[in-house]
Amino acid sequence: MPVDGKEAGPASQTILVVGGGIAGISAALEAAETGHDVVLLEKGPSLGGRVSKLNRYFPKLCHPTCGLEINYQRIRKNPRLKVLTMCEPTNVAGSRGAFTVTVKRHPRFVNEKCTSCGDCAAATETMVPNPFNYGLDKVKAAYLPNEHAMPMRYVIAPEAIAEGEGDKLKAACKYGAVEPEQQEETFDLNVGAIIWATGWQPYDPNNLDVYSYSHSPDIITNVEMERLAAHDGPTQGKIVRPSNGEPAKKVALIQCAGSRDNNHLAYCSRICCLGSLKHAAYVREQYADAEVDIYYIDIRAHDKLESFYQKVKADPQVRFVKSKPGHIRVGEDGRPFIHGERTIDREVYDEPYDLIVLATGMQPSAVAGYTPQVGLVKDDYGFVVPKELEDNEGIFSCGVAAGPLDVSLSVQSATAAALKAVQAVRQSA
Amino acid sequence: MTAPLPNPGKKYDLDFARWVYDNVNGGDKMALCMQCGVCSGSCPIGTNMDHGPRKLFMMIRAGMQEAVMTSNTPANCTSCYRCVVRCPRSVPVTYILQDLLAKQAELGYRAKDSNENIAFAKSFWWSARAFGRTDERLVTAKYYWSFGPAEFWKRSMENLKIALGFIKKGRMHIGMPHSVKDKKGLKAILDKAREIESRG
């Protein structure tokens, strides 16, 4: 089959979606439900992406199982949608109607016979940092990615195989689901259009050296705060100081930690202000005597959620401090101190806190991730610029791969991308 | 948090801000300032300044010419560049303050509480011009002397112990001040520089 698209050949009507987060799932489902064959690639062991790692999410502050479960049911019911986990593209060649995508599949060491009974987890002694909790705790090297994983299947970390536990785990599984002999493999997919939904990664807080992230366990990021507040997180939902496990009753939330900064991310990540307002609500729900200070440049309560900002603002125990802090240092009592200037009254402060949450921004995964050969155009910040239909390229992007979007905007952009992809493969037929 | 309410009826004179944008080194970049406060919050001697860079920039925008040109904020800047490094909008805060200080002097303004700064600068340049070196004993002595004999005696006695400590550790030499070889040549260079500068 010609892959350069110049020779005549049967055009593929299949749509490939790269990334199984909320945007990728939405785009894949919307395209599949119009009757097109769709392949959804996910690098990790489970779908759900960043949304599955939230405690609650906007607009209605639902638990992520809520929105994701509906989508998982749609996936199960749709025979046209094929989900491939542990897979990532390594190369793209060809053009609209005739792309050849080389896919690398990482070994899961567990096949589809898995009933998620947990016998392998009981048998293993190796522990690995829990990727679902951003490494805040450790998990058995044979583990369920999370409690609402899709597919509901265990995964074995390569560390356990390297420790020589493969045969032991194989023997422990009474369904023959463990396959320690699995190797990394590559295969090609022929598709007609590609939607990039590769999402984002939290901006590395170690780059913000003045905020001393690596100097104290009590300085965490906003994504880690979500895990701390989640019932399936490292603390079973108790917001405590990671250093000593005591309740975190004086909490600072620092906005624009990296975002809107020429030295880091020059753009506004858009989600962090509401995210931090939500974190203030988490803390206040848990402790009646808690105090929360939000350090901000200006609050950008995006979308229709100004009302949530007003609600949090009405709480007298939540203080809004208009200031971008200069730096954080760790005091002699081990508590982190924030130093800066309150811009309203020009007072210089040096305040100790139990817990400091850095609202780090979103960086597109495509920055460090995929480098396909054709079609992918990135802007100055690493976001994938979608090739519009008039370019006839058949390559689209949605979700945070396309720009800093919240969940509802990601889903909207996913639906738009699905429609464009459908039009692209129809035109090439 | 007591932010004064905006007064829509108030008229701001933009002439001064425009003059700063056009005439002060780095002033054009000042327009990018978003008043986040990281400069004043990072400043190691920010509490010694009457306003701090963030507020000073806002005062420039508000047309407060007299207050800005008599502010001690530019004179107190030690050029540590922390604000420049941390500024999220890449505003060259230090350059702006340095040039504002020069403009204050050029236009005959005198920053309040700036007597000490001026006295020190004069002592420093006297030594630099005379020897091509700064002799810390002579600079200090001349600086103290500029506040009168009583103050000279008081401050010298306060620092005597430190000076003796320096001498003991070999950190301060005793004897004639160090000097460059070609003092005449140095003076010629400085005079030429002054002449070029006065041409404008």
Nearest CA in chain B to A318: B1
Are both A124 and A137 inside the same structural domain? yes
| Cβ distance of A340 and B37 shorter than 8 Å | yes
The answer to whether B86 contacts chain A (CB < 8 Å) is yes
Are both A93 and A196 inside the same structural domain? yes
**Residues paired with A88 in a beta bridge:** A104
Distance (Å) from the C-alpha of residue A212 to the closest C-alpha of chain B?
14
Q: Which helix (H) or strand (E) holds A324?
A: none
Are both A242 and A267 inside the same structural domain? yes
Which of A360, A376, A403 corresponds to the end of one domain? A360
Computed over its alpha carbons, how large is the radius of gyration of chain B? 21
Residue A37 resides in a domain: yes
Q: Nearest CB to B88: which of A261, A327, A340? A: A261
Are both A37 and A100 inside the same structural domain? yes
Residue A386's pLDDT is 66
A344 to chain B: which residues are within 8 Å by CB? Answer: 1-3
What is the secondary structure of A48-85 as a DSSP string? Answer: -HHHHT-SSBTTTTB-HHHHHHHHHHHHHH-TTEEEE-
How many independent structural domains does chain A possess? 3
**Residues paired with A200 in a beta bridge:** A364
DSSP-derived 3-state class of residue A157? coil
DSSP-derived 3-state class of residue A341? strand
Helices (H), A243-364: 272-286, 306-313
Residue A374's pLDDT is 60
B86 to chain A: which residues are within 8 Å by CB? Answer: 210, 263, 326
Nearest CA in chain B to A344: B3
Are both A67 and A163 inside the same structural domain? no
The answer to whether A209 contacts chain B (CB < 8 Å) is no
> Biggest alpha carbon distance in chain B?
67
Query: N- to C-terminal Cα distance for chain A?
Result: 15
Average pLDDT, chain B: 90
Nearest CA in chain B to A338: B41
Are both A350 and A306 inside the same structural domain? yes
| Cβ distance of B38 and A325 shorter than 8 Å | yes
Residue A8 resides in a domain: no
Residue A168 resides in a domain: yes
Nearest CA in chain B to A255: B36
Residue A258 resides in a domain: yes
Which of A360, A391, A417 corresponds to the end of one domain? A360
Are both A326 and A196 inside the same structural domain? no
Are both A265 and A394 inside the same structural domain? no
Q: Nearest CB to B1: which of A263, A320, A325? A: A320
Two structure tokens written together for B136? 């810390």
Q: Residue A207 gets which letter from DSSP?
A: G
Nearest CA in chain B to A263: B88
Which of A341, A360, A379 corresponds to the end of one domain? A360
The answer to whether A159 contacts chain B (CB < 8 Å) is no
**Residues paired with A140 in a beta bridge:** A127
Nearest CA in chain A to B88: A261
Q: Which helix (H) or strand (E) holds B96?
A: helix B93-106
Are both A192 and A240 inside the same structural domain? no
Contact B77, B98 (CB under 8 A): yes
The answer to whether A260 contacts chain B (CB < 8 Å) is yes
Q: How far apart are alpha carbons A222 and A242 in whole angstroms?
A: 14
Q: How far apart are alpha carbons A236 and B148 in whole angstroms?
A: 71
How big is the CA angle at A299 (ends B51 and A308), to the nearest 5 degrees?
A: 145
pLDDT in tens, chain A (429 residues): 444 444 555 688 999 999 999 999 999 999 999 999 999 999 999 999 999 999 999 988 999 999 999 999 999 999 999 999 999 998 888 888 999 999 999 999 999 999 999 999 999 999 999 999 999 999 999 999 999 999 999 999 999 999 999 999 999 999 999 999 999 999 999 999 999 999 999 999 999 999 999 999 999 999 999 999 999 999 999 999 999 999 999 999 999 999 999 999 999 999 999 999 999 999 999 999 999 999 999 999 887 889 999 999 999 999 999 999 999 999 999 999 999 999 999 999 999 999 999 999 999 987 555 555 566 778 888 888 765 545 568 889 999 999 999 999 999 999 999 999 999 898 876
Are both A294 and A356 inside the same structural domain? yes
Are both A235 and A295 inside the same structural domain? yes
Q: What is the ipTM of this complex?
A: 0.86
Residue A378's pLDDT is 81
Contacts of A171 (CB under 8 A, 6+ apart): A123
β A355-360/A219-221 pair status: parallel
Q: How far apart are alpha carbons A297 and A228 in whole angstroms?
A: 25
Per-residue model confidence as pLDDT tens digits over B37-70: 999 999 999 888 999 999 999 999 999 999 999 9
What is the secondary structure of B35-59 as a DSSP string? Answer: ---HHHHH-TTGGGSSS-HHHHHHH
Two structure tokens written together for A62? 């639902």
DSSP-derived 3-state class of residue A92? strand
Please tell me whether the peptide bond between A59 and the residue prior to it is cis, using omega within 30 degrees of 0.
yes
Residue A3 resides in a domain: no
Residue A86 resides in a domain: yes
Residue B1's pLDDT is 46
Q: Nearest CB to A326: which of B35, B38, B90? A: B38
Contact A223, A400 (CB under 8 A): no
A285 by Cβ neighbours in 10 Å (0-12 / 13-18 / 19+) ranks as exposed
The answer to whether A324 contacts chain B (CB < 8 Å) is yes
Are both A218 and A321 inside the same structural domain? yes
List the CATH number of the domain containing A402: 3.50.50.60
Domain extent at residue A83: 15-106+184-201+363-428
Residue B119's pLDDT is 87
Q: Residue A388 gets which letter from DSSP?
A: P
A343 to chain B: which residues are within 8 Å by CB? Answer: 35-37, 40, 54-55
Residue B121's pLDDT is 86
Q: Nearest CB to B41: which of A261, A264, A348? A: A348
| Cβ distance of A348 and B40 shorter than 8 Å | yes
Contacts of A217 (CB under 8 A, 6+ apart): A241, A242, A243
The answer to whether B88 contacts chain A (CB < 8 Å) is yes
B135 vs A376: which has the higher pLDDT: B135
Distances in Å between the Cα of B121 and the Cα atoms of A161, B114, B116, B150, B153 are 71, 11, 8, 21, 20
Two structure tokens written together for A164? 């020589």
Per-residue model confidence as pLDDT tens digits over B91-130: 999 999 999 999 998 898 977 767 787 888 889 999 999 9
